[in-house]
Amino acid sequence: MSKTPGFTCTACGAAHRKWAGRCDACGAWNSIIEEAPLSAGPKALGAKGRTIPLTDLATEEAPPPRAVSGMGELDRVLGGGLVPASAILVGGDPGIGKSTLLLQAAASFASRGLKCLYISGEEASAQVRMRAQRLGLTQAPVQLGAETSLRDILTTLDAERPALAIIDSIQTMWLDTVEAAPGSVSQVRAAAHELVTFAKKRGVAIILVGHVTKEGQIAGPRVVEHMVDTVLYFEGERGHQFRILRAVKNRFGPADEIGVFEMTGAGLAEVMNPSALFLSSRDAPAPGSAVFAGIEGTRPVLTEIQALVSPSPLGTPRRTVVGLDSGRLSTILAVLEARVGIPFTGLDVFLNVAGGLRVTEPAADLAVAAALLSAREDVAIPPDMVLFGEISLSGALRPVGQTENRLKEAGKLGFTQAALPARSKHGAPDGMALRELADLTAFTGEMFGAG
């Protein structure tokens, strides 16, 4: 392999000889840029290798204890605390609150006796200290550094040996052995590789902050996500104060777990009961609103799904979705038309999950269909009813997991009725009237008196 400058795909990291509009390796468009490739590595393998010690699975070795920060929402997303020597990537839009979250996390860990280093490549130490003052964290024994040279950072980490080092952000770090600008694919990849390798070798847990691009991916190659143990995304809508920390990959805990925070004047506050928060802004019962009893990670979360349906002046009516998959909306609309006989042709459809949460569970299908029908028929769904269930292409309602947890959470928040698929496995929660329905036609008949 030659070491002359070549071309690299920013999406998958594949090397190319020539520029092309589309990467053959991953199929991404417009992702190839000119850059120096990484060194080709050792030429011949095997000759001078040494034998590594092997152990078998039965070897009894207690797992190292996890460090707990005391911020319950963060600890749960990490899978029950910070695993020593692990590498974590925290991605999010600029300004969403990543630095705030991690400074608070560092202070919490430090105040419980963990040695923490916070290295900022974006702000001067004085600026970080100012933020700490605003957050009321000046007493926490966190050590601050402002540096972008990875060589200096690694030397410092090796001398200090903290239990946790936070690198804010990976895009500002640079290695003098790589001839490319900070933030470029080769720099980000090389810096992440050095830091992750250091973490494993020296037993230091590392949190990397990563900015995301407009497309919502962590800037730099995808390979960074593959290098680390855990990938967390910090998300939220501008104009909403809610922030959601979501595990999208976790070698040490469940993926899809979320932690909910609220951005306040004094930093991020934990939200212990997200259902109450997401439903708190609910207006008086109106057509087009349905409450979905969902599960996020290991926890039940109730959210309001809102639909608006209006005659369209356009040849191709609008389908606008916030917080749900637009493909799923199309499927549900098609099932409503083909199986129940209720068309949405000539109608604009707007669908929204209130509060800025993103719902990915198929169990939300029934609540989505209910919101759509309710908006179209102009009939409100009873305000004390929750809904959940997956809709199959035949129009049948399919039972979903954790029925009991969903019903229990709904009961706790004062809901007294639930619409759910027939044959759902559940215990009988007190005082909850259940409407168990076999298919969407039965549901439509029961709720709206039409089939």
Interface residue list for ligand TYD (CB under 6 A): 92, 94-100, 131, 134-135, 263, 265-267
**Residue 148 engages Mg ion in binding (rule: CB under 5 A):** no
Partner residues linked to 22 by β-bridges: 29
Q: What stretch of H or E contains 365?
A: helix 365-377
Residue number with CB closer to ligand TYD (263 or 434): 263
* 222: partner contacted, choices Mg ion, ligand TYD, none (Cβ within 5-8 A by kind): none
* 432: partner contacted, choices Mg ion, ligand TYD, none (Cβ within 5-8 A by kind): none
Residue number with CB closer to Mg ion (212 or 413): 212
Residue number with CB closer to Mg ion (188 or 371): 188
Question: Residue 88 CB, nearest distance to ligand TYD (Å)?
Answer: 15
> Which residues make Cβ contacts (< 8 Å) with residue 241, sequence separation at least 6?
262, 263, 264
* 395: partner contacted, choices ligand TYD, Mg ion, none (Cβ within 5-8 A by kind): none
Residue number with CB closer to ligand TYD (13 or 97): 97
Residue number with CB closer to ligand TYD (209 or 367): 209
> Which residues make Cβ contacts (< 8 Å) with residue 323, sequence separation at least 6?
352, 353, 356, 357, 358, 359
Question: Residue 98 CB, nearest distance to ligand TYD (Å)?
Answer: 3
Q: What stretch of H or E contains 187?
A: helix 185-202
| Residues 210-249, mask of contacts with Mg ion (x by CB under 5 A) | ----------------------------------------
Query: What residues numbered 95-114 form the site for Mg ion, per CB under 5 A?
Result: 99
Residue number with CB closer to ligand TYD (100 or 403): 100
- Is 304 strand, coil or helix? strand
Question: Residue 138 CB, nearest distance to Mg ion (Å)?
Answer: 19
In 94-187, which ranges are E strands? 116-120, 143-146, 164-168
> In 10 A of CB 147, how many CB atoms?
16
* 266: partner contacted, choices Mg ion, ligand TYD, none (Cβ within 5-8 A by kind): ligand TYD
Partner residues linked to 289 by β-bridges: 306
Tokens of 40: 């080709």
Q: What share of the chain is helix, strand, coil (3-state, %, to 5)?
A: 30, 25, 45
HEC string for 29-84: ECCEEEECCCCCCCCCCCCCCCCCCCCCCCCCCCCCCCECCCCHHHHHHCCCCECC
Q: How far apart are CA 246 and CA 235, in angstroms?
A: 8
Question: Residue 324 CB, nearest distance to ligand TYD (Å)?
Answer: 25
Residue number with CB closer to ligand TYD (166 or 418): 166
Question: Residue 427 CB, nearest distance to Mg ion (Å)?
Answer: 46
Query: What residues numbered 71-100 form the site for Mg ion, per CB under 5 A?
Result: 99
Question: Residue 385 CB, nearest distance to ligand TYD (Å)?
Answer: 36
Contact (Cβ atoms closer than 8 angstroms) between residue 401 and residue 362: no
Which residues contribute to the site for Mg ion (CB under 5 A)? 99
